[in-house]
Structures are given as C-alpha cells and as structure tokens.
Amino acid sequence: MMENSTPSYPPTDRTQVRRRAMRGVYDKAQVHAILDEGFLCHIGFVIDGQPYVIPTAYARSGEEVYIHGAPASRVMGVAHRELDMCLTVTLMDALVVARSAFHTSINYRSVVVLGRARQLTDLEEKRKALRLFTNHLIPGRWEEAKQPTDQELKATGVLALPLDEVSAKVRTGPPIDDEEDYALPIWGGVVPVIQTFGKPVPDERVLAGLTAPNSR
C-alpha cells in the first residue's frame, strides 16, 4: 500500500492524547519507526459482547499493519465481516528511578491504532504479506526458506489494519521529582533497558555443515 503524503496523522476524538498531552506524537515517521522496531503487538476486539486482547507478531507496509494466524482463531473467524479492533505496540526503553515511589516510572514509546481490519483472500496479496511478516522478524529469511504452497497460504489467515486513526505516546528523560525531594539522600536516574539476540541454537535435525543465518 502506498504511503500517504501527509506527514502526520490527524488526531481524532479517539486518538487524541489527553493525559500528559505533551507526550503525544502524531508524526508518521516517528510512528512508523516505533512499529518497525517492535515485533509483538496486542490486538483488542469484541465478539458477541466479550472483549479479548491477544498478543501476536505483526509487520507494517506503508499505511497498513499485517497480522496473521490460524483461520479457526476467534479473530480470523469473524474478520470476514471486517472487525473493529485496537492494536497497540509498546517499546520499553528504561526504568525511571525517582527519589519518591510516586514518581517512579518508565521511559517508553507506544503506538495505538484504531480501525477496521480486513481479511486478505487473494493468494498473491497474502503471499506478499507473509513475505513482509517473515522478513520483519528475520531480515532476508523469506528468500532463504522454503516458500509456502498455495495450500499453506489458504490455511493461513491474514488481516490488514489501515493506519487511519493513529497516535503515539513517548516518555524520555530523567525522573521528575518534587523539588524538595532532590535534597534527599536517595539515588535518582534511569536504568536503560537493552534487548539483544543471543547465539543461535540449532535443533537436532540441522544438516551437517549448515550455519545459522547472519540476518540478526
């Protein structure tokens, strides 16, 4: 899907950041950067009056986010009628250690997307979405791995959620203590959160002489 030329997502009544409004972000470049850095999202939806929130992997292309799963799952089972949902992604950057328990917090970058997801039925569109999804998790892996058959594509559900109603919220910087608390003999600052990938561990069926890909 092609990128929209406007540089920001216009805030709506549903996406306007109200609490700590100065942390609200609507710039598309920043929203896309958060989505592209993350791997796990949570999708919320309601079926027959019952709310559900499900964690799942995702990938972005232009102004759509793709989610995949088993056709028999709850969300895929009702998506043929287009499903209203909320998608969230949160990246945790640091613990914010304040002098008071009240002001202890975290530095984070988060995105909230509200919209109506459509189910992909065209096999070629689904193939492109799964390539995007695979390479988002492990760059270049789609080209290294065995390609899915048409039957496997039919057995995989894929949803596309448009980036229409979107906002981000970002906290950075040190703790914000009450002025009188800075005189207390208590340490204050931030503890960065660093996530990294470990050394690949092969399964027992890897053929001799093969090494793990250098993708990550």
Which residue range is the domain that position 150 belongs to? Answer: 21-94+104-172
Q: How confident is the model at residue 2 (pLDDT cuts 50, 70, 90)?
A: very low
Q: How confident is the model at residue 64 (pLDDT cuts 50, 70, 90)?
A: very high
Question: Do 46 and 114 meet the contact criterion of CB atoms below 8 Å apart?
Answer: no
**What local confidence, expressed as pLDDT, does residue 77 receive?**
59
**What's the domain count of the chain?**
1
Tokens standing for 110?
């988060």
Centre a 10 Å sphere on the Cβ of residue 145 and count the other Cβ atoms it contains: 11
Give the pTM: 0.88
Mean pLDDT of 151-155: 90
| Secondary element (H or E) of residue 43 | strand 40-47
Q: Would you say residue 176 has pLDDT above 70?
A: yes
202 inside domain:
no
Q: Would you say residue 124 has pLDDT above 90?
A: yes
Q: Which CATH number characterizes residue 71's domain?
A: 2.30.110.10
Q: How confident is the model at residue 86 (pLDDT cuts 50, 70, 90)?
A: very high
Contacts of 34 (CB under 8 A, 6+ apart): 89, 91, 109, 110, 111, 168
Q: How confident is the model at residue 130 (pLDDT cuts 50, 70, 90)?
A: very high
CA within 13 Å, CB half, 106: 10
136 inside domain:
yes
